Amino acid sequence: MSKASEVISSGAEKLQQSLNGSLEGKKVAQLASVTKDYHDPKNRITTDYGVVQSNTDEWLKVSTDDHTGPSLLEDHMAREKINRFDHERIPERVVHARGAGAFGTFTLHKSLEEYTTAGVLTDTSRRTPVFQRFSTVLGSRGSADTVRDVRGFAVKFYTDEGNWDIVGNNIPVFFIQDALKFPDVIHAGKPEPHNEVPQAQSAHNNFWDFQYLHTEATHMFMWQQSDRSIPRSYRMMEGFGVNTFKLVNKEGKAHFVKFHFRPHLGVHSFVWDEALKLAGQDPDFHRKDLYDAIDSGCFPKWDFGVQVVPEADEQKFEFDILDATKLWPEEEVPIQFVGQLELNRNVDEYFTQTEQVAFCTGHMVPGIHHSDDPLLQGRSFSYQDTQLSRLGTNWQELPINRPVCPVMNNNRDGKGRHTITKGTVNYWPNRFDSAPPAKPEEGPHVAVDYPAKVEGMKARLRSKKFREHYNQAQLFFNSMSPPEKAHITAALAFELDHCDDPVVYERMCERLTDIDLELAQNVAELVGASIPQKAGRPNHGKTAKNLSQTELQPKNPTIETRRVAILIADGYDAVAYNGIVAALKAAKALPFTIAPRRTPIYAAGESKESGKGVKPDHNLEGMRSTMFDSVFVPGGADSVATLRKNGRALHWVREAFAHLKALGATGEGVELIKDACALPGMDFSTSGEITDSYGVVTAAKVQPQSFKETAQMAKGAKDFVDAYLWNISQHKNFDREMEGFPMMVAF
Ligand code: HEM
């Protein structure tokens, strides 16, 4: 039985969990009640109206052995089958159409009752079930995962008091301040109207035209041009609620709040060339990465935190705290980490779960409220509205969207209504006093409007702090490490190179002078714009913490779920191969054997007749280095001689080198590495010593005892395994890039 069907058929287990009384179990049991097991041996094909069929492969026809005659209209089974197929598709999401989802659990380790009455944020004994969907924004449902784009980070908490949705992104700010601009920013970013080009990317005239014309977007486009928009994995990015919300406590006192999720695996990204290639080589890379990690029991985890500002302090900042184009620097408002989000179960079926899940920022539980953030206010209208056209009136009844607490009201009928409500009235008030609204005294689960004083002119106006658009764009750029700054420069140069209207790239280079003159000059030179001579405004020089990814790394080095390719051919060194496989597995990494063919490969001294050998996971053409985090080449004179004559093998190593990945080699394997990247300034081991040169770890003569199973990953480690695995844990070797090595090899 497949893993997937085991999950589906574990109904008894799921019901047991529900009997445990946990809230987590409630959602699982609720879904189990509408889940069928396709692999149950008792199953037989039926029509949708339940009649068992004996042949669903041939349309009923008037035929003989010699002549195929007309198909008959009376074949209702056939018409039903085609008819259901014809209507399988629903409209894709108007934005964030491409995504992947999973189930999980939210736990709280510190109560926030000082700020809120919401059970999900105050009851530390709860395990709240969640469903999370990650996404790209601009591309269609069938577009690639690794494009340069913002990533959606949407979490549905099935709480005891109703559903709470945080519909966030992996970037803490947004392009616009007022929801009314959303159709414009999305039209400008999506494929252009005349030819529907390009798909899933911002590298085109209209996107950048919009950015220039909307100075409020300046901060966000800097994030969008940074490494944040090419994440290595959904599991390795932060999540932000972006908008400002309010928490209200039992005294009715309000605090402004921003929500944060910080990944245990650290924040990591691709390099651009890698992301570009993967978009063609493996468009489902992120989707598979998430599924495989959960399937293998390496559950992605995020620390959940809040930034809280008392209502009275609203005006104490130089920016408006209701402006979604601004972040709250951690120096000014520290994040309090109070909980953990873990994803621990894959979906059973993509369509009914990941596709039909529907989020809405208006889904809040008592104790969590709207602020006057004008982007949030409009969003809460938009999501409800869009679900009506995407999923229909009864979208909240779909199993994935149903709350785990009771639902009762007078919203009735509509297409596809499931619930059967018994009773003779469907309005309030009614003569039976049935289904009345609750009284506030009944408990904190009852939604009560929080009275807030509002004054102002009726006008199409934003307050004056909303009109400052550059300080945080500078703050972000100043806070980047040198490689991150170089990546932003290169990203802007790539994007503006795709804009063929000079007005667009000239103006954008002018706009960049409002952030940093040197950045503007470097980009202008690369894209052929006039080189700006004067800063649009002085750079204030300030920085803030935790904006650079380099500061967001795991406390202890880890290579959990890192994919490591081991290149071998006949005659490989079995001691090195087996040793590295064991060490990687012990560290929960995923070793993959790659060889010129997928039939068994024999170690040095092992004969074909012995019938053993290693069956590779892939051949050299089936995969590319882009799909792995590191490449290891064990010794073995014949194996390495074969690989050195193979251009594809050489390209594997060279490309991984240029993509800044850790490389490891022992024995003769060092020669293949040298063929690929022996540049002036690179060092390689020549005897028993371990050489770590820009993350390329080599040992020309290696003792069997060097391949110990449990690695002590550490910088400058003397042992081969310790040094090599430590380099994998660092994700990329940016010193290699700063020395200019990648640009010296052909990849
Ligand atoms: C803070 C800024 C915003 C963030 C963080 C954000 C985030 C998201 C995310 C994560 C999704 C995908 C949800 C899923 O996985 O199903 C989404 C979808 C969507 N967003 Fe936003 N969004 C923002 C602004 C807006 C605005 C201003 C509007 C409209 C005024 C809007 C309208 C939509 C719509 C219509 C969808 C499609 C929903 C669906 O079909 O299920 N968003 N957004």
Ligand 1 pocket, 169 CB below 6 A? yes
Separation of CA 85 and ligand 1 centre (Å)? 29
Separation of CA 127 and ligand 1 centre (Å)? 27
Spatial separation of the C-alpha atoms in residues 227 and 523, rounded to whole Å: 17
Q: Give the DSSP H/E element, type plus range, for residue 164.
A: strand 162-169
Ligand 1 pocket, 18 CB below 6 A? no
**Catalytic residue flag (residue 87):** no
pLDDT for 511 equals 98
pLDDT of 17 above 80: no
3-class DSSP state of 526: helix
Report which of 625, 557, 565 is spatially closest to residue 592, judged by C-alpha positions.
565
Spatial separation of the C-alpha atoms in residues 665 and 476, rounded to whole Å: 39
CB-CB contact of 187 with 205 (8 Å): no
pLDDT of 688 above 90: no
Spatial separation of the C-alpha atoms in residues 534 and 524, rounded to whole Å: 13
CB-CB contact of 524 with 489 (8 Å): no
Residue 565 β-bridge partners:
592, 631
Q: Residue 217: which residues within 8 A CB-CB, separation 6 or more? A: 175, 176, 185, 210, 211, 325
Ligand 1 pocket, 186 CB below 6 A? no
Q: Where are the beta strands (DSSP E) in 489-575?
A: 563-567
Spatial separation of the C-alpha atoms in residues 318 and 540, rounded to whole Å: 14
The two beta strands, 99-108 and 336-346, are antiparallel
pLDDT bucket at 704, cuts 50 / 70 / 90:
confident
Which ligand 1 atom is the nearest neighbour of the CA of 99?
15
Range in 293-297, 425-429, 448-452 the model is least confident about: 448-452
Ligand 1 pocket, 242 CB below 6 A? yes
Ligand 1 pocket, 384 CB below 6 A? no
Candidate of 182, 242, 400, 401 to mutate for ligand 1, largest count of ligand atoms within 8 Å of Cβ: 182
Here the tokens at position 105 are 């659990």
Rg of the chain's alpha carbons, rounded to an integer? Answer: 29
Spatial separation of the C-alpha atoms in residues 172 and 715, rounded to whole Å: 32
From atom 26 of ligand 1, which residue's Cα is the shortest distance away?
379
Report which of 289, 282, 390 is spatially closest to residue 346, judged by C-alpha positions.
289
Separation of CA 179 and ligand 1 centre (Å)? 11
pLDDT bucket at 680, cuts 50 / 70 / 90:
very high
- Rounded to an integer, the average pLDDT of 401-428 is 97
pLDDT for 70 equals 96
From atom 15 of ligand 1, which residue's Cα is the shortest distance away?
133
Spatial separation of the C-alpha atoms in residues 5 and 283, rounded to whole Å: 25
Spatial separation of the C-alpha atoms in residues 388 and 398, rounded to whole Å: 12
Ligand 1 pocket, 359 CB below 6 A? yes
Q: Residue 278: which residues within 8 A CB-CB, separation 6 or more? A: 144, 145, 146, 270, 285, 626, 627
pLDDT of 186 above 90: yes
Which ligand 1 atom is the nearest neighbour of the CA of 385?
35
Out of 55, 76, 163, 169, which one is annotated catalytic? Answer: 169
CB-CB contact of 130 with 341 (8 Å): yes
Q: In this predicted complex, what is the ipTM? A: 0.96
CB-CB contact of 573 with 667 (8 Å): yes
pLDDT for 471 equals 98
Spatial separation of the C-alpha atoms in residues 562 and 558, rounded to whole Å: 9
**Catalytic residue flag (residue 169):** yes
Give per-residue pLDDT as tens, 326-382: 999 999 999 999 999 999 999 999 999 999 999 999 999 999 999 999 999 999 999
Report which of 559, 592, 578 is spatially closest to residue 722, judged by C-alpha positions.
559
From atom 36 of ligand 1, which residue's Cα is the shortest distance away?
95
Give per-residue pLDDT as tens, 483-542: 999 999 999 999 999 999 999 999 999 999 999 999 999 999 999 999 999 999 999 999
Q: Residue 358: which residues within 8 A CB-CB, separation 6 or more? A: 383, 387, 390, 391, 395, 396, 398, 401
pLDDT bucket at 23, cuts 50 / 70 / 90:
low
From atom 39 of ligand 1, which residue's Cα is the shortest distance away?
93
Separation of CA 25 and ligand 1 centre (Å)? 29
List, as one string, the DSSP characters of 108-154. Answer: ESS--TTT---GGGT-TT-EEEEEEEEEESSS-TTS-TTSSS-EEEE
CB-CB contact of 336 with 306 (8 Å): yes
Residue 383 marked as a ligand binder: yes
CB-CB contact of 623 with 565 (8 Å): yes
Separation of CA 487 and ligand 1 centre (Å)? 27
pLDDT of 16 above 90: no
Separation of CA 134 and ligand 1 centre (Å)? 12
- Exposed (0-12), middle (13-18) or buried (19+): which is 538, by Cβ within 10 Å? exposed
| pTM for the predicted model, two decimal places | 0.95
Candidate of 90, 92, 93 to mutate for ligand 1, largest count of ligand atoms within 8 Å of Cβ: 93
